[in-house]
Structure 1
């Protein structure tokens, strides 16, 4: 395909600048997003044994509900019955209330019946580390309030889409010739470029889906506000909670009978939980959550519907997999394509690998851009690297390694912290490590920081299996493959450290990855930038 050289050059400039602006944030989003593909197993790995008595038998759930509502009437605003329990969800019944103060946090309570029939309620539940990693993914690593971070994420997603389109135009002229070329040799820049092109082109559909769906998520509320104004001008978005709890009706179906009636209406759908709450009109409704491997799901790990708790009849099917209308199925498809929650474990592993490859794509893009900038500076007569080039190179090392090490350390901390863990603690651990890595890289420069931080990153990842070993007595290992993957990742970082150290010593002195002084070679000739 023949495209004018000036057009290719223009798109190359757009691709480079847009990529360097958004690349580091996208690395965090993709790396953390890859981990969230196994959010539930990670939560199971991290969650300590519960202080609760064992999950209340399902046939005694109505007794449990009665005692909770009698002693904790605030739970009548909304409580959830879990049909599937485990370390990540140890209680049969939970409810959430908003705390007091200027910035009230949500507090979740877990309830069970002890052997003598008395009610037991605790506030400490599953580890929040998996939720924290998910928030890190959603907010592209930004430590701000969700309402502030999401529009910024949306802007980054738009830049991401521009980078994809411009990258296609840059690659088209050499598409056939260079598609599967991976030239490994002395010209390291060419090798990284080939790898970047192969990763980008082969995962192009995945990246298009991620860019478009991320924009939808970032401006979700604005889209729905516009839809409401266009089609329902006299109605606003209803509040999720009623201002006061109406008297509970006494003729609600027993839980077992309610489950049976819902099961009869939803063949192939596996119920996971029932959430009893109030509609905007003050009527009691039950939200049904579960999975169906035949369809994409509205939430990351479940689909949902609403039912009448007094008859068991399904009343709202907009988000029910396999029972939606055209509009509902279309909206759900955006969520399912982003979450990768269709097709079973094979799709989840594919999304995990594509997420890791995507993070690596943004790293290689930044690496190439910074190296090309240094090459242009050298041709312009700049013997020493400019401050901007040094800073960009350092950030290209510090941000990715800080993200990986920060996640590894905060995940490893989940087990020894046990019931004392909180999302605030995990956030503090992550950002302390992340900022330390980034600051160290800025002080030491790209080549020395890479040589010194890679082994530290490997050690940080090894803290995960170490945490499993240290806590075996109080926290039996259940998800061993989390530790196996951590050990594998540590081995990969050790190999990367060997390669980086060799290039820093033996590569061309004008490369930003060289520890040799910039300038001329011993014979007076200018060394070639690789």
Structure 2
């Protein structure tokens, strides 16, 4: 047993080094993923907060029939007849139809252009392009692909490294995992407190982080798993894999014979009347042609993570494809379970709030991990001051900058004129500029506590200004929306106020005993003898 101890000690030491360095490398992107993921949990509420004050819905009016609305929009916009278009149904949170379609290509050599519009179900008016109010979608894209081409693969690699960091952390703390489960040493030096915070959060959120690491890895690196399934299970038949996964598309060319589409809407109404079926969206293939198809997609309100879909041939109502709880597909069921768990859309608001708190806790764990590295290097005489400054800027500037930039994004979403051309690009520009400004300002930080408290106070100020701007600009609309049952606007305001309170409290705690890097290094050196 004694002879094995040095070997085990060396393995643990190597795991600690790997855990520290890999965690340090991926920390800015990993923080962004969890922070943006936490905000994305309230994607639809943010959309309601952003859009409805500009374009309020009158719940006393009757909805325009969907068939009439579709024909109206097809007359207004040059839709590509050879493609497909999708309609997302209005919900309590996003009370507009969302039409997705490709525009007509007048030049056959040019690439197709996609378009998405928000349509008022009461008046039939197009209230905005979907990307005009871009904040919720932008944060969602930051979560899964950094809003960059190929970003999903980069996030997939980060998730893979994160999974290794979780497993290595379990091995590092295996002996004391249960004994020190709730240990937080308030009477010890700063490094002990950071280590305890890092460990306790890591242990208590372990089921949550493992679920996110595994599901995020599969969702972001799906192409890798597709290749394996195609080769070993589907014998190279890629289309069969897509069909089982629910990505089947009509490969039949559009017919030249016209067809009256009224039967399509009869089929849609018939499907929505089925028990335990909640309509989500509709997809038309070859609309107006005699080989037109309509795909009706919804959620099974009884079975967990079960999406129901049925595809009809419009001409005679023939069922071309059907997926429900009785028509079980293991591949697709697994994908739907992962998506349901990942986005917490299997329960109510309480679960999303719990996910939000856990995601913020993991974000804090990422920062404390970097702070532990900074403390350790600061106590070593041979450490480079430049490397410590870079990591400090990356940790405090990058992570803190993301928080400030998010607050700036909310402020811009509220203050930018709704008719501004390129409104979405302006919002992204403000977000990126804020992030870079904070990162550059953080390069010369000497007092970390004071700097963090300043960033938290800045975030609080921006959020307060946003809430005040809400009521100055849209007080009547907000009250009317609340009375009409649309509570998302005030709900987001309450969330911003709570975040402001947390920021102010944290800033007040940090300013109690400011500690600079030199002082921190001196204290740690003295404690280590």
What TM-score, normalized to structure 2? 0.82
In the alignment, the residues of structure 2 paired with residue 53 and residue 454 of structure 1 have an alpha-carbon distance, to the nearest angstrom, of: 36
* Cα-to-partner distance string for 1:130-159 (whole Å, 9 max, x where unaligned): 1111001112xx4532xx211111111111
Could you tell me which runs of 5 or more consecutive residues in structure 1 were left unpaired when the two chains were aligned: 513-518
User: Are the equivalent residues in 1 in contact too, given 2:409–2:427 (CA < 8 A)?
Assistant: yes
In the alignment, the residues of structure 2 paired with residue 463 and residue 246 of structure 1 have an alpha-carbon distance, to the nearest angstrom, of: 56
Provide the residue aligned with 2:411 in structure 1: 412
Structure 1 pair 110/202, CA: closer, same or farther in 2 (3 Å)? closer
User: Are the equivalent residues in 2 in contact too, given 1:161–1:208 (CA < 8 A)?
Assistant: yes
Structure 1 residue 282: Cα displacement: 9.9
User: Are the equivalent residues in 2 in contact too, given 1:49–1:475 (CA < 8 A)?
Assistant: yes
Bigger drift between 17-26 and 449-458 goes to 449-458
Provide the residue aligned with 1:433 in structure 2: 434
Structure 1 pair 454/275, CA: closer, same or farther in 2 (3 Å)? same
In the alignment, the residues of structure 1 paired with residue 429 and residue 364 of structure 2 have an alpha-carbon distance, to the nearest angstrom, of: 26
Provide the residue aligned with 2:484 in structure 1: none
User: Are the equivalent residues in 2 in contact too, given 1:124–1:419 (CA < 8 A)?
Assistant: no
User: Are the equivalent residues in 2 in contact too, given 1:262–1:314 (CA < 8 A)?
Assistant: no
User: Are the equivalent residues in 1 in contact too, given 2:447–2:514 (CA < 8 A)?
Assistant: no
Provide the residue aligned with 1:399 in structure 2: 398
Provide the residue aligned with 1:516 in structure 2: none
Aligned residue among 270, 275, 294 for 2:278: 270
C-alpha RMSD of matched pairs (Å): 3.7
Structure 1 residue 340: Cα displacement: 1.6
1:65 aligns with 2:64: no
Spell out the pairing of 1:46-445 with structure 2 (5 A cutoff): 46-49=50-53, 60-70=65-75, 72=77, 74=79, 76=81, 77-84=83-90, 88-91=94-97, 94-97=99-102, 106-110=114-118, 121=126, 123-125=128-130, 127-139=133-145, 142=146, 144-145=148-149, 148-230=150-232, 231-233=234-236, 245-247=254-256, 249-254=258-263, 257-265=266-274, 267-278=275-286, 283-297=291-305, 303=307, 305-308=309-312, 310=314, 315-318=320-323, 320=324, 324-375=328-379, 377-378=380-381, 386-420=385-419, 422-445=423-446
* Cα-to-partner distance string for 1:252-271 (whole Å, 9 max, x where unaligned): 45465323421355x21211
SS of the counterpart of 1:286? Answer: strand
Aligned residues: 499
Structure 1 residue 460: Cα displacement: 2.5
Structure 1 residue 40: Cα displacement: 0.8
Bigger drift between 151-160 and 5-14 goes to 5-14
Structure 1 residue 211: Cα displacement: 1.2
Structure 1 pair 278/368, CA: closer, same or farther in 2 (3 Å)? farther
In the alignment, the residues of structure 1 paired with residue 350 and residue 359 of structure 2 have an alpha-carbon distance, to the nearest angstrom, of: 14
SS of the counterpart of 1:261? Answer: helix
Structure 1 pair 405/66, CA: closer, same or farther in 2 (3 Å)? same
Structure 1 residue 345: Cα displacement: 2.8
In the alignment, the residues of structure 2 paired with residue 51 and residue 276 of structure 1 have an alpha-carbon distance, to the nearest angstrom, of: 27
Bigger drift between 21-30 and 67-76 goes to 67-76
Structure 1 residue 240: Cα displacement: 5.8
SS of the counterpart of 1:233? Answer: coil
Structure 1 residue 464: Cα displacement: 3.1
Provide the residue aligned with 2:482 in structure 1: none
